[in-house]
Structure 1
Amino acid sequence: MKKPLWKTGLLGLCAWGLFGSGTLFAQSDPTGQKPITQTYAFTNATVHASPGSEGEKATIVVKDGVIISVGSGVTIPVAAKVIAGDSLYIYPGFIDAASQAGITKPEDPERPSDFVSSNPPDEIAGITPWRSATDQFDIGSSQVDDLRKAGFTMAHVLPDGGMIAGKGAIMVLGTKGSTNLIKTNTALAASLNGSRGMYPGTTVGVMAKFRDVYKNTNLTQDRIATFTSNSGVTRPEINQTYSAMTEVVNGQIPVFFEVENDLEVRRAISLQKELGFKLVVYGLEQYDEVIDLLKSSGVGVILKLETPDDKAIKNQKDDVDEAVQAQYDRVKESYDRTIAQAGKLAEAGVAFAFSTIDAKPSDAMKSLRAMIEAGLTESAAMAALTTNAAGMIGMNRIAGTVEQGKLANLVITTGPIFSEDSQIKHVVADGNIFDYEIKTKKKNGNGEATVEVAGTWDYTSETPAGSSGGKLTIEKDGDDYSGTITYDDPSGNGTATSPISDVSISGSQLSFSFEVSAGGMAISVSVSGEISGNSMDGSMNIAQFGSFPISATRNPNFISNN
């Protein structure tokens, strides 16, 4: 007896899932937006588990935001959504060790009627150690999106403010539906920036005021201890500034001091040596003169992830006089010296991380490639993005490497991460997958197409619901591709047709996606395959149902010549 059509064919599996085993979305989610599964398997990808490690073909299984297995022979859970990674590379998610992505600056408080500029209230003077970055952070900010697109999955966010802005927090860059908070009160954010029109208005004044606040916190602690253990002692005043500074004075959290150049580095380190607090300097731009000091001091180091614009160098003309040429040489020398700093710091044995404050995340990879070209090793660059940053903010137990038991924070690229033509295709943050558009790489060095994909293909696929087939038509339109695919209609009405989207070609790898209408719902299907002449072999992933083999043969009579 012939099986009913809706129980066979390519999307019979979808119909079985819809009508026989439950609905597409979780019953507890009335919005229909919550994923039906939080279990994913990235199969047969080249995995670089830690900085400097050789890439190995492996499968990574993720469940509920945690990596549950990594290896070449792991068991893929039935409920897992399988993502074919045959042509992809996977790295640990990047960590921004000092970030203000998603941070909004608080409103300036009103000045009291008896305001005295030489002795302003702490809050007006920019001294607010009790504030928390969590009160200023918005996961829905476009800045967070930009950071995530650049491969960052975790950020140590610092509040915006004056000379003592407040306490930092660790955020995983997941979805809006989660708090994304991992830890609060991680560090005290400070800078050498003075206040306008009041004390402290100068760098020297800021240093003096920081010293005053620190020492008064010490004195207040002593007075509280005396009052607690003795009778007949005058009750000490409890000041919110000194109370909030207690964690710093007791060595429980470090001070993250924002500095830019060698002079500010020296000033921050001199304060640390005098007072004894834990110190991390961040935002460094010009520091080659103090590399030895940074090494000997043992302070944490976070570099600004930015290099100078090289347009002025690229636009230099050949036919110029000696004076102009001398100016060109000075610009080039300054540029070369700046981009070489990170390599020298790593060579000196100083472990550092990166900050994106006042830098463009979209330029991060360009800056990293410039540093690498100037002497920074790829291993050191990756360590700065991952393991060094994780250790500096106390997150190395759960982040920084691709290991079983760590957070599912991953960067998935189309090629080796620092190669010129590599692109970020997926970012996994807290187990949530964010997909990004890949610019089609269709040309080789001779200007010819890497592989020819246009034409009409006859495909077949095998699923537990049976064997099926159909036609895939791909058309070339300028630099882009479009097309359609036919499949067995799950409702039993013959065949149906759907447009394909997200067509991407990387080397000989073709990938695209399309949607199937089944039972009034749209089911997402993604296809990835290797092209060899007029043949393709790959895998087809159907929503929650898993990944299944697919093969196709191009009909030579219908090859597009557009």
Structure 2
Amino acid sequence: MKKLFLKASMLGCLVMGILSQTVWGQSDPTGKRRVTSTYAITNATVISAPGQAGTKATVIFKDGVILGVGSGLQIPKEAKIISGDSLFVYPGFIDGAGSMGITRPKEAERPKDLVSSNPPDEFAGITPWRSAVDQFAISGNQVDDWRKTGFTISQILPDGGMLPGKAAIMVLGDGNATNLIQVNSSLAANFRGSRNMYPATLAGVMAKFRDVYQNTTLALEHEKMYASTAGVKRPQTTPTQAAMAAAVQKQIPVLFTASSDLEIRRALALQKELGFKLVLTGLENYETVIDQIKASGTPVLIKLQVPDDKAVKSQKTEGVTDATKAQYQRVKESYEKALKQASMLEKAGIPFAFSTADAKPGDAMKAIQTMIKNGLSEKAAFAALTTNPASILGISRVAGSIEKGKMANLIVSTDAVFHEDAQIKHVVVDGNIFTYEVKKKAAKEEQKSTGAAGTSVEGVWEYTSETPAGSSGGEIVLKRENGVLGGTISYDDPAGSGKVTSPIKNATLNGKTLSFDFAVSAGGMSLNVTVTGEINGNTMEGSLSVPQMGSFPVKATLSSPSLSN
């Protein structure tokens, strides 16, 4: 047996060397128990923060905390290796205000003697004592769909009326963890009136907000006087006033949802009058009030969506009057202005972030790409997803960029994240790794990129790889069938019985970068190995990555080109 191990190739030594760890990990079919809490994403293009150039680096994290970022890092022996060759690593996205995972609270039974002109607070939509944490469930498709889009943190808003309750900042991580970063992070407010009772109108909501705020101010002054002066009547503080106190004392901001320019003006007017800390969210039509927003210094969260172009596409070109044509032109100009609003915020020097409320996960990246096409810089778009929301939420110390000591919240994508062909392969949330399916390019697209780069890969490649176990090699046979790249690879059998062959899987050719996977069988188990290399004529140089063991250099030469090339 000892001789067989000595004869085994690099793959054999590596496979047999980690079998005990792999068996332990596969003994948990749920996948919820991790083999290790230490990971290293190696040789990836890391973009640590907006405005920073991507550099080849390794990211190491343990127990949800980043231990180091850079090249030449000492990787801990217990670390599980994630090959980052040809991949891009970004900080996880942060949602400034969302409703993912939120359920509507059960409504209280309406009393028979309810007076619609002066209803109890709970029936008027005034419930600041409620917490979004009590309405939040991380399980289900909604949270996972946003996580697939790259979001790792969200400030979740409670559902309800004009003052529905307190928001909370949550990590979109492991369902068995608390995932709470901050409870009562802000007081949610909006201009949503009550149905069939006061306050039902926009003006009524503003008047009621003033009333609640000012009564809370008086209640706080009464409590202070009662605590310091004898003979003062004991204060009768209501649940609403107790829950409003943090906002009135400016300990937390009021997060006001204001989608239109009119609502934005009214929220700014209330803030100026009463003096509370304000964050505007859900901005949708705001082009005409950008100057007022800047003058107020109010942080803003814009909707992560753009208007559809149905009204523009439905316009007729023939048989319409001049008046109709003029109307069409106004509609088109209004639509184009709406697409440029985010770029206007950037030009005005207003740092902003996004709100996912009312947006669809599947349309989010398309919306950002549309904003970029209409003048928003990629740097500003990236900041709106990372450093800006971290600053607005007050969590920059732990999130928003890839730095030592911060939370391990990362996105691993197949291309630059705003590129139309980019796909998210892994999302790391609080150190937990979520892996998603990466779809292959359509055969025509792959052939097109191959032709454009002038790269030929079909044929027989002789490869060698150098590892601590020594030098070994074999043949890589690549060919296309029905436009799909595939083939086989040979390697030394870990059991010591000569060469064995394995089919190549997930083969892609992006420009001059070749990547594929294959399985190595040993001891009744299968281990996935990834090969990535840069093609230069008839040679290839790259790496061979083995999970939990690392990446090792590999070189190959095209010895027998395919006649079809």
The letter for the 2-side match of 1:413 is S
Contact 1:513 1:527 in 2 (8 A): yes
| Secondary structure at the counterpart of residue 40 of structure 1 | strand
Q: Work out the CA distance in 1 between the residues paired with 2:163 and 2:454.
A: 55
Aligned residue number for residue 414 of structure 2: 414
Question: Residues 415 and 180 from structure 1, CA distance in 2 versus in 1: closer, same or farther, beyond 3 angstroms?
Answer: same
Aligned residue number for residue 530 of structure 1: 534
| Secondary structure at the counterpart of residue 556 of structure 1 | strand
Contact 1:412 1:425 in 2 (8 A): yes
The letter for the 2-side match of 1:163 is M
Q: Indicate whether 1:353 and 2:356 are aligned.
A: no
Deviation at 1:397, TM superposition (A): 0.8
Deviation at 1:317, TM superposition (A): 6.4
Contact 2:131 2:166 in 1 (8 A): yes
Alignment map for 1:209-358 (pairs within 5 Å): 209-310=208-309, 313=312, 321=320, 323=322, 325-358=325-358
Segments of structure 1 that go 5 or more residues without pairing to the other structure are none
Q: Work out the CA distance in 1 between the residues paired with 2:302 and 2:29.
A: 45
Q: Normalised by the size of structure 2, how large is the TM-score?
A: 0.89
| Secondary structure at the counterpart of residue 365 of structure 1 | helix
Deviation at 1:311, TM superposition (A): 5.3
* The 10-residue stretch of structure 1 (129-138 or 227-236) with the greater mean CA deviation from structure 2: 227-236
Question: Residues 104 and 10 from structure 1, CA distance in 2 versus in 1: closer, same or farther, beyond 3 angstroms?
Answer: farther
| Secondary structure at the counterpart of residue 3 of structure 1 | helix
Deviation at 1:129, TM superposition (A): 1.1
Q: Work out the CA distance in 2 between the residues paired with 1:369 and 1:234.
A: 61
Contact 2:62 2:431 in 1 (8 A): yes
Alignment map for 1:394-543 (pairs within 5 Å): 394-436=394-436, 437-440=438-441, 442-444=446-448, 451-455=455-459, 457-474=461-478, 476-478=480-482, 480-492=484-496, 498-543=502-547
**Percentage of pairs with the same residue:** 56
The letter for the 2-side match of 1:339 is L
Deviation at 1:244, TM superposition (A): 1.2
Aligned residue number for residue 94 of structure 1: 93
| Secondary structure at the counterpart of residue 531 of structure 2 | strand
Q: Work out the CA distance in 2 between the residues paired with 1:32 and 1:47.
A: 27
Question: Residues 27 and 223 from structure 1, CA distance in 2 versus in 1: closer, same or farther, beyond 3 angstroms?
Answer: farther
Question: Residues 337 and 548 from structure 1, CA distance in 2 versus in 1: closer, same or farther, beyond 3 angstroms?
Answer: same
Question: Residues 387 and 2 from structure 1, CA distance in 2 versus in 1: closer, same or farther, beyond 3 angstroms?
Answer: closer
Aligned residue number for residue 55 of structure 1: 54
Aligned residue number for residue 158 of structure 1: 157
Deviation at 1:280, TM superposition (A): 0.4
Deviation at 1:453, TM superposition (A): 4.4
Deviation at 1:199, TM superposition (A): 1.6
Q: Work out the CA distance in 2 between the residues paired with 1:27 and 1:213.
A: 57
Question: Residues 4 and 560 from structure 1, CA distance in 2 versus in 1: closer, same or farther, beyond 3 angstroms?
Answer: farther
Contact 1:89 1:415 in 2 (8 A): yes
Contact 2:187 2:252 in 1 (8 A): yes
Q: Work out the CA distance in 1 between the residues paired with 2:140 and 2:446.
A: 34
Deviation at 1:151, TM superposition (A): 2.0
Q: Work out the CA distance in 2 between the residues paired with 1:450 and 1:442.
A: 12
- 1:267-297 Cα offsets, whole Å, 9 max, x none, are 1111111211110010101111111110111
Deviation at 1:393, TM superposition (A): 0.2
The letter for the 2-side match of 1:200 is P
The letter for the 1-side match of 2:553 is P
Size of the aligned set, in residue pairs, is 560
| Secondary structure at the counterpart of residue 251 of structure 2 | coil
Contact 1:424 1:438 in 2 (8 A): no
* The 10-residue stretch of structure 1 (472-481 or 376-385) with the greater mean CA deviation from structure 2: 472-481
The letter for the 2-side match of 1:304 is K
Aligned residue number for residue 392 of structure 1: 392
Q: Indicate whether 1:13 and 2:17 are aligned.
A: no
Deviation at 1:12, TM superposition (A): 2.0
Contact 2:82 2:547 in 1 (8 A): no
Question: Residues 521 and 232 from structure 1, CA distance in 2 versus in 1: closer, same or farther, beyond 3 angstroms?
Answer: farther
Deviation at 1:255, TM superposition (A): 0.6
Q: Work out the CA distance in 1 between the residues paired with 2:178 and 2:504.
A: 35
Q: Indicate whether 1:205 and 2:204 are aligned.
A: yes
* The 10-residue stretch of structure 1 (65-74 or 353-362) with the greater mean CA deviation from structure 2: 65-74
The letter for the 2-side match of 1:351 is P
- CA root-mean-square deviation: 3.1
* The 10-residue stretch of structure 1 (544-553 or 131-140) with the greater mean CA deviation from structure 2: 544-553
Segments of structure 2 that go 5 or more residues without pairing to the other structure are none
Question: Residues 416 and 485 from structure 1, CA distance in 2 versus in 1: closer, same or farther, beyond 3 angstroms?
Answer: same
- 1:407-437 Cα offsets, whole Å, 9 max, x none, are 1222333333333433333332222333331
Deviation at 1:237, TM superposition (A): 2.9
Question: Residues 205 and 30 from structure 1, CA distance in 2 versus in 1: closer, same or farther, beyond 3 angstroms?
Answer: same
Question: Residues 37 and 332 from structure 1, CA distance in 2 versus in 1: closer, same or farther, beyond 3 angstroms?
Answer: same
Contact 1:260 1:285 in 2 (8 A): yes
- 1:295-341 Cα offsets, whole Å, 9 max, x none, are 11111111111112235546766656454543442232111111111
